[in-house]
Amino acid sequence: MSHAELTLDEVGVAGEERPYGFKSKKLVMWLFIIADGATFGAILFAYGYIRVGSADWSRPFAFIPTIRNGIVMTFVLLTSSLTMLAAVRAAATGRVGMAVRWLGATILLGAAFAALHLREWFAMIAGGWSLSRNPMGGSPLFGAAFFGITGLHLLHVITGVVAISVVTILFRRGRLDASYIETTGLYWHFVDLVWMFVFPLVYLMNAR
């Protein structure tokens, strides 16, 4: 390829050479993941403190339906990570149709996770739980911690589903290359990563 045919994306911003040989969007995604990881880390750490500091902390979750639902959600999210990996590999080898199908599977699994999560939320709200109300009579901070942590994660899942949908459409139209799939995949694996801590710390540790 001659220099005249190089696009802005290939050389970086304003023709600036990339000193380390990777695309800046990947670096930016890693920096975002570090910042977002710090946010989740701080929230989970604060949750640990209020949980230990509250003498009347509630443990409301029964195996059926909550823990079982959490196991299904974990399985769905882990599977979506695998479908995302398949999409990244297919996109990297130029198989656009295959990549789009795997991305579609990831979107469906992400939407299923969000639906399962929302179903559980609605069941808890119907049971009298809210950000400041504990129907079991224990610390009201439980509702704030539960809805706060799982809500932030759910927001990330929904954002991820929207982002993957947009990237899929643009990739299918040829307006984005395979590196965008990889970068979006990094975000999706991060969402999976956070759930690795949310499930045991928020669900299993609060089981009856």
Q: Which residues bind another protein (CB under 8 A)?
A: 2-4, 6, 10-12, 15, 17-18, 20-23, 26-27, 30-31, 33-34, 37-38, 41, 45, 67, 71, 74-75, 78, 81-82, 85, 88-89, 92, 179, 182, 186, 189-190, 192-193, 196-197, 199-201, 204-205, 207
Q: How far is the CB of 112 from another protein (least distance, A)?
A: 17
- For residue 85, the minimal CB distance to another protein (Å) is 6
Token readout for 87 is 């999409």
Cα–Cα distance measured from residue 51 to residue 58, given in angstroms and rounded to the nearest whole number: 9
Q: Which two tokens stand for residue 145?
A: 């911690």
To the nearest whole angstrom, how small is the minimum distance from the Cβ of residue 18 to another protein?
A: 6
Report the residue number, 128 or 153, with the smaller CB distance to another protein: 153
Task: Indicate the residue among 38 and 118 with the shorter CB distance to another protein.
Answer: 38
Shortest reach from residue 69's CB to another protein, in Å: 12
Task: Report the greatest alpha carbon distance in the chain.
Answer: 71
Residue 156 neighbours by CB under 8 Å, 6+ apart: 36, 190, 191, 194
Selection from 122, 125, 198, 100 nearest residue 157 by Cα: 198
In terms of Cβ atoms closer than 10 Å to its own Cβ (0-12, 13-18, 19+), residue 39 is: exposed
Closest CB to another protein among residues 52, 126: 52
Comparison of 70 and 143: residue with beta carbon closer to another protein: 70
